[in-house]
Amino acid sequence: MDDFKRGDHLPDEPEPDWDAPSFERQRHLLIALFPEPDVQAAIEEHRKDWIWPRGHYFPRSPRLHLTLHCFGDQPRAVEKRLREALAQVRVQPMDLVLDSSRTWRNDIAVLQPAEHSALRTLHAGIGRAVQKAGIVTETPTFTPHITIARRTEGAAYPMSLPPIPWRVRKFVLVRSFTSHPVEHQVLATFEAGREDKKDGV
């Protein structure tokens, strides 16, 4: 068991547990980065390296995402303003590296990217667009992560993780339903322009 570790810290202000299977069915808006199929496959392989407790739950690969902002559903007029504001956010291509995984005290397992300034710049720009649309939100500490499993009390994660490269060129606005049938409805996709050829650092 020297190659595994059980338990880890939880950020001071974790993001809401929107995707928990037991969460009452509600709609909320989610702005996030969704990995491409090759990154999803690499995450699937990484999950095989863990020791999971009985009763754990894996979010399906197409639902894996890194949350940038999330808040309650909005009236149609506000959603329209939000889309218009988000369209003004510059998307700079960036190469993220998922290089650490752990469990948190709220019984979720996460995969986290190495620090990347362009990711934080994008998060801040989207935050300004949300405010411009007139949406008031809480501002928890931004702790970039992908939730890879839930109900993970007692899970053991490998001490080492082969880095997973992740090329990011877009973010997505979705309406998320958080109980059966759990689903993400894509409302808009915001991609890097052709002029943005240089990677963010």
pLDDT in tens, 150-183: 999 999 999 888 999 999 999 999 988 776 666 7
- The tens-digit pLDDT sequence of the chain (201 residues) is 446 666 665 554 455 444 444 444 577 899 999 999 999 999 999 999 999 999 999 999 999 999 999 888 888 999 999 999 999 999 999 999 999 999 998 899 999 999 999 999 999 999 999 999 999 887 678 999 999 999 999 999 998 889 999 999 999 999 887 766 667 789 999 998 755 555 554
Both structure tokens of 88: 């003004």
pLDDT in tens, 113-125: 999 999 999 999 9
Burial class (CB in 10 A: 0-12, 13-18, 19+), 63: middle
* Amino acid in the structure at residue 184: H
How far is residue 69's CA from residue 80's CA, in Å, rounded to a whole number? 17
pTM: 0.84
* Beta pairing class for 156-158 and 183-191: unpaired
Residue matched to tokens 């960036």: 94
Q: Report CA torsion sign: 104, 110, 115, 120.
A: negative
Element (H, E) at 119: helix 117-132
